[in-house]
Amino acid sequence: MLENLSGIGPKTKQALSHLGIYTLEDLIEYYPYRYELVKKSNLDEKEEDESVIIDGSVTNIPRVVFFKKHMERMTFRIQADDRFVDIVIFNRGYLKKNLTPGTEITVFGKWKPKKNQIVASQIRFGKLEKEYVECVYHLTSKITNQKMIQWIHEALQITKPRPSMIPKVIEEKYHFPSKEESILEIHQPTSTVMLKKARTRLKYEELFEFLYKMILLKEMRKKENGITRKIPIEKVKQLIAKLPFSLTEDQRDAVHDIIQDLESSSRMNRLIQGDVGSGKTVLAFIASYMNFLSGYQTAFMAPTEILAVQHYQKAKDLLEPYHMKVVLLTGKLKASEKKQIQQEISEGKADLIIGTHALISEKVNYHNLGLVITDEQHRFGVQQRRELKNKGLTPDILYMSATPIPRTYALTIYGDMEVSNIKTRPMGRKEIITMLFSEKQIRDVLEKMYEELKKGHQIYVIAPLIEENEESSAKAVDTMYENMKKAFGKYYQVDMLHGKQDGKKKEAIMQSFQENKIQILISTTVIEVGVDVANATMMVIFNAERFGLSQLHQLRGRVGRSNLQSYCLLVSDYDKERLQILTKVSDGFQISEEDFRLRGSGDFFGVRQSGDMNFKLADIYKDFSILKHAKEDAELFLKHKDYQNEEEKNNFTKFEKSIIHLD
């Protein structure tokens, strides 16, 4: 129990829980994110504002003055070797009683040579006997690094880590240190070499455990009995022939994949990944038609209500001529409408049900749900599948993602799914011209916007935050709105969309934009996914540096949805080298590869539900070679189950049970 550690009471427990720490085991598996060498500084070598560490003894009684509302400023002097230095520290008045003259302390802070002063961030009692390496942990405001170090130190003495998830045979094969040794080393490193070994071992374990789970889930699903259908191919062909365009080759391949999955007796668990605008939605509709032809209902989950409405309108146009009943079920329906639609669903009158993720979490009674389609699947993971199962539903599942990732990574991140890639773009699409501007060049940006407006086209403007606050100079939607109104409001309609508006309001604004009653639409990233307005030909993104490349690529995919030439203007004063990539590369697969290279896989946690893939140390990109080994090993181990002892066997059996339970 955490309470067994010194100084941990209910408040601290609460603070620790915000870091995901609930037990002693969690605590010792809370790893430092970097290490710092703690070493006495030579002040003569240090410049203004550099970080310094010195030790000495207090020479006078500290003075505390109060200012502003709750601020305290404490000053005193120390003798450090042969010189005197003034120390200033804020809001640490409670230390005064312990800082009596003669007390030996170590001070961490910023050096102000002109004032012969250190603005301290930390004071520790005692001198710095010798240099050492200190772990630095991610913290919350209630917890200091010193406390964390102390608790982990204590915890390491009274608790053992959870059982190793690397089988003994594999541990021996790589000469890995044990889990216990590795955890000790990571918190109390003895040497660079040992630390590296420990980290590699722990990364391997995370990856092995994840891959083991993925492989097992996939195997189980293959054995699971799904719906066996016979798809009347001719009818499907007729629908496809009536589309206003012909399918691209990749789209046709995906249709084939879907037919095979639906006909096969095992449950479908397929991901279709392709750039925005690559034409995934139409595939979803075709799949729902196949499912309808075989007599089942389809639930189609969109990431936002706006998109649900858009999909609904399109689906109705396409599918109702084929006698499919399409309904929209969203949170803001009137109670009576909702009841009516719920009834149509439970009686099996509704064939395609479109809504947000509430479609599975709410109390919707399906008549015979055969297929679930999730657009922008990262809100749908193992957990959601389980929710369905708890309701007695085991439909086929089709995921769609507009954050395509290269095959190698997809194979691991989506290890439990089959993947279809849409790489070719629909014919006649012009590439989006992307340009990078600095804040100073705002006039040029406005001019470019004006050119598009004159042509009768519409523009999206992305501002990253809702309210401007002191700390961030990010352009708020509100400010942006005022500015754009000043610039264009005389001749063009400007409006804004943001997270704080209710669904009705948002929808009304989207509708007006769609009807070209609004020419400039300012928003946060609410519109990031899926919105489709063909006449919108320009996307302007302020503070572009705040976004990942893939995210920016997705945003710009909102334009270029017709044969009109479209533009994306990125405005930023930072990180230009990275942003420049977007002006040159237009393939989403390649862009995500760059994203991986530059930022590691951390930002891709969103791609999979974070609960499915939460690595503390491992990074899919940076640790790719470890990952490759872990994958082969996991496959092999699952085949041979080469347990070395009873304990290991029990441990893995327990793990497998928890996975089976998940599905």
Question: Which residues would be at the binding site for ligand ADP (CB under 6 A)?
Answer: 245, 247-248, 251, 274, 276-282, 402, 426-427, 532, 561
CB crowding 643-660: b at 16 or more within 10 Å, else e: beeeebeebbeebbeeee
> Smallest distance, Å, CB 413 to ligand ADP?
19
Question: In the sheet where 536-542 sits, what is the strand order?
Answer: 433-437, 567-571, 536-542, 458-462, 520-523, 494-497
Question: Which residue has the CB atom at the shortest distance from ligand ADP?
Answer: 279
By C-beta, is 329 or 559 nearer to ligand ADP?
Answer: 559
By C-beta, is 275 or 396 nearer to ligand ADP?
Answer: 275
By C-beta, is 248 or 297 nearer to ligand ADP?
Answer: 248
Closest CA to 524 of 550, 543, 505: 543
> Smallest distance, Å, CB 275 to Mg ion?
10
Would you state the structure tokens that stand for residue 414, as one six-digit string?
A: 């989506």
193 binds, among Mg ion, ligand ADP, none (CB under 5 to 8 A by kind): none
410 binds, among Mg ion, ligand ADP, none (CB under 5 to 8 A by kind): none
- Burial status of residue 564 (CB atoms within 10 A of its CB: 0-12, 13-18, 19 or more): middle
155 binds, among Mg ion, ligand ADP, none (CB under 5 to 8 A by kind): none
282 binds, among Mg ion, ligand ADP, none (CB under 5 to 8 A by kind): ligand ADP
> Smallest distance, Å, CB 274 to Mg ion?
9
Distance (Å, rounded) from C-alpha 51 to C-alpha 522? 42
By C-beta, is 532 or 594 nearer to ligand ADP?
Answer: 532
406 binds, among ligand ADP, Mg ion, none (CB under 5 to 8 A by kind): none
Residues in the chain: 663
CA distances (Å), origin 543, targets 438, 537, 546: 10, 20, 6
> Smallest distance, Å, CB 288 to Mg ion?
14
> Smallest distance, Å, CB 385 to ligand ADP?
22
By C-beta, is 199 or 561 nearer to ligand ADP?
Answer: 561
By C-beta, is 281 or 524 nearer to Mg ion?
Answer: 281
Interior angle at CA 318, CA 316 and CA 320, nearest 5: 55
Residue whose structure tokens are 């000495």: 56
> Smallest distance, Å, CB 362 to ligand ADP?
24
By C-beta, is 189 or 530 nearer to Mg ion?
Answer: 530
By C-beta, is 281 or 519 nearer to Mg ion?
Answer: 281
User: Do residues 523 and 497 make contact, with C-beta atoms less than 8 angstroms apart?
Assistant: yes
> Smallest distance, Å, CB 544 to ligand ADP?
21
Interior angle at CA 187, CA 186 and CA 191, nearest 5: 55
By C-beta, is 280 or 558 nearer to Mg ion?
Answer: 280
> Smallest distance, Å, CB 372 to Mg ion?
16
Closest CA to 374 of 593, 556, 225, 530: 530
> Smallest distance, Å, CB 245 to ligand ADP?
3
113 binds, among Mg ion, ligand ADP, none (CB under 5 to 8 A by kind): none
By C-beta, is 89 or 247 nearer to ligand ADP?
Answer: 247
Would you state the structure tokens that stand for residue 213, as one six-digit string?
A: 């789970």
Interior angle at CA 414, CA 412 and CA 415, nearest 5: 55
304 binds, among ligand ADP, Mg ion, none (CB under 5 to 8 A by kind): none
> Smallest distance, Å, CB 326 to ligand ADP?
16
Distance (Å, rounded) from C-alpha 285 to C-alpha 280? 9
279 binds, among ligand ADP, Mg ion, none (CB under 5 to 8 A by kind): ligand ADP
User: Do residues 316 and 354 make contact, with C-beta atoms less than 8 angstroms apart?
Assistant: no
> Smallest distance, Å, CB 280 to ligand ADP?
3
> Smallest distance, Å, CB 300 to ligand ADP?
12
Q: Checking phi first, is residue 543 left (phi over 0); if not, alpha (psi -120 to 50) or beta?
A: left
By C-beta, is 282 or 293 nearer to ligand ADP?
Answer: 282
Distance (Å, rounded) from C-alpha 229 to C-alpha 141? 57
Q: Which amino acid is at 237?
A: K
Would you state the structure tokens that stand for residue 348, as one six-digit string?
A: 């099996």
Interior angle at CA 62, CA 56 and CA 65, nearest 5: 140
87 binds, among ligand ADP, Mg ion, none (CB under 5 to 8 A by kind): none
By C-beta, is 147 or 558 nearer to Mg ion?
Answer: 558
User: Do residues 467 and 524 make contact, with C-beta atoms less than 8 angstroms apart?
Assistant: no
- Which residues touch 647 (CB under 8 Å, ≥6 apart)? 163
User: Do residues 29 and 71 make contact, with C-beta atoms less than 8 angstroms apart?
Assistant: no
Evaluate the CA torsion angle 191, 194, 198, 200 in order and state its sign.
Answer: positive
245 binds, among Mg ion, ligand ADP, none (CB under 5 to 8 A by kind): ligand ADP
Q: Which amino acid is at 589?
A: F
532 binds, among ligand ADP, Mg ion, none (CB under 5 to 8 A by kind): ligand ADP
Q: What are the strands, taking DSSP E only, across 490-562?
A: 494-497, 520-523, 536-542
Closest CA to 99 of 73, 117, 81, 125: 125
> Smallest distance, Å, CB 478 to ligand ADP?
29
State the DSSP code for 243.
S
By C-beta, is 423 or 622 nearer to ligand ADP?
Answer: 423
CA distances (Å), origin 354, targets 7, 149, 304, 333, 396: 52, 51, 11, 13, 16
Q: Provide, for the chain, the percentages of residues in helix, strand and coil under a 3-state DSSP scheme, each rounded to the nearest 5.
A: 45, 20, 35
> Smallest distance, Å, CB 287 to Mg ion?
13
Chain positions contacting Mg ion, by CB under 5 A = 280-281, 530
274 binds, among Mg ion, ligand ADP, none (CB under 5 to 8 A by kind): ligand ADP
By C-beta, is 294 or 424 nearer to Mg ion?
Answer: 424
147 binds, among ligand ADP, Mg ion, none (CB under 5 to 8 A by kind): none
546 binds, among ligand ADP, Mg ion, none (CB under 5 to 8 A by kind): none
> Smallest distance, Å, CB 376 to ligand ADP?
9
By C-beta, is 479 or 590 nearer to ligand ADP?
Answer: 590
308 binds, among ligand ADP, Mg ion, none (CB under 5 to 8 A by kind): none
